[in-house]
Amino acid sequence: MAMKRNLAVMCATTMALAACGGDDPVVLNTLDGKAPLVVAHRGASGYLPEETVEGYAMAIEQGADAIEPDVVSTKDGVLIARHDPNLVYSTDVASHPEFASRKRKMNVDGLVEEGWFAGDFTLAEIKTLGGISTDAERPQQFNGRYKIATIQEIVDMIKKSGRNIIMYPETKNPTFHRQTGLPLEDKLLALLSAAGWNTSTAPVFVQSFEPGSLKYMRGKGSTVRMVQLIDADDVDLKTGALTYAAPYDRPYDWAAAGDKRLFSAMVTPAGLAEIKTYADAIGPWKRYIVSTKGTTGADGKLVDANNDGKLNEADTTTTAPTTLVADAHKAGLLVHPYTFRNEKRRLPLDYKGDPKLEYKQFYALGVDGVFSDFADTALAARADYFREIGY
């Protein structure tokens, strides 16, 4: 077993994976030795407007192992799939004159936002809106055509598929929802219980950036698998170090309670041990595992390495992987990093414009799953990786 494990570890230190075969069977470097999951992040959001019925249907058709909806609440307490309580970011609400009077400002996790908020709309009204693509480089021709999915609709779609697909909901802005009188957790647990999925063996992971949300559900007796998400604001491309600025510096329930720790506290051995007391996995931003760093010119400025007139990750190279995957596994936690995407502006130079190379590096490092906007690419990369290591 040691020889097999060492092979997997050796493979994880290089991107030249083709030579990592051998006569002995390869043991994957994941926590449980199982294949890493491909989680369809907000549906097939690389192709269709995110968190719509059609987007989730495409993700299922692509063969994703898990389907990820963000959970927010309507005025009448129905749980829907939206990344933000503010509908202006991902729907065509601004083009609906009948709702013009509902535009307002709200404090969301310490920041004042202006727009239209899900908690001001009934489900029937929400269903008149259409989802829009949130990335200008992605297809725009479907904007407004597809409707927002409810969490119940996603459950029904998974059950109807006949496949053992995992549902991976996130309690979104749970403190905000509690403050506005529309708490999420009890409704989500009731929905999971009705589906027969509120158990430790159910095809479910429940995730949140706020530890309090997960701890609350544990306190209500739920044994469903839970995931602590770990964020940061950005990467300092001159150094490769992660940066922290509100609201991406710490969980908002920590901020509201005056806890000054940053998300970075969660990736220390003590932080991982604390997470293990209430969760089964971590969902870190992928830069906690592999960061990126640009080149600084004589003028002290970052070099536009690909000469496209823009400075982004495509002008950087990856830094040496951290020990986070191994540290989390040592603590008994699964590791599901986010978010993997195909756009070339998001791919450091090491990957040569090929998103599969990024997936393969993370698979070799032993991650237990990946969140992807392009589940089909993640699945293809996994299949290629398995062939290359002889799995």
**CB-based contact 370:336 (threshold 8 Å):** yes
Residue type, 88: V
Active-site entry in 41, 177, 329, 336? 41
Q: What is the number of other CB atoms lying within 10 angstroms of the CB of residue 145?
A: 14
Q: What per-residue confidence (pLDDT) applies to 22?
A: 52
Q: How confident is the model at residue 25 (pLDDT cuts 50, 70, 90)?
A: confident
Q: What per-residue confidence (pLDDT) applies to 263?
A: 98
Q: What percent of the chain has pLDDT over 90?
A: 93
The pLDDT tens digits for 314-351 are: 999 999 999 999 999 999 999 999 999 999 999 999 99
Nearest to 278 by CA among 329, 231, 332: 332
Average pLDDT in the 38-45 region?
98
b/e per residue 176-196 (b: at least 16 CB within 10 A): bbbebebbbbebbbebbeebe
Q: What per-residue confidence (pLDDT) applies to 17?
A: 39
Average pLDDT in the 243-260 region?
97
Distance between CA atoms of 313 and 237, rounded to whole angstroms?
8
**CB-based contact 103:84 (threshold 8 Å):** no
59 phi and psi, to 5 degrees?
-60, -40
Q: How many helices (H) and strands (E) does the chain have?
A: 12, 17
How far lies 381's CA from each of 8, 105, 171, 263, 372, in Å? Answer: 17, 43, 29, 30, 12
Q: How confident is the model at residue 137 (pLDDT cuts 50, 70, 90)?
A: very high
Pairing of strands 234-235, 242-243: antiparallel
Any idea which residue has 């994703």 for tokens?
64
Class of domain 2-11+29-83+149-389 (CATH, top level): alpha beta
Q: How confident is the model at residue 294 (pLDDT cuts 50, 70, 90)?
A: very high
329 as an active site residue: the answer is no
Mean pLDDT of the chain: 94
Q: How confident is the model at residue 391 (pLDDT cuts 50, 70, 90)?
A: very high
Active-site entry in 83, 177, 329, 336? 83
Q: What is the DSSP letter of 135?
A: -
Domain boundaries, the chain: 2-11+29-83+149-389
Residue 21 reports pLDDT greater than 70: no
Q: What per-residue confidence (pLDDT) applies to 24?
A: 73
Average pLDDT in the 129-151 region?
96
Nearest to 175 by CA among 208, 205, 152, 198: 208
96 as an active site residue: the answer is no
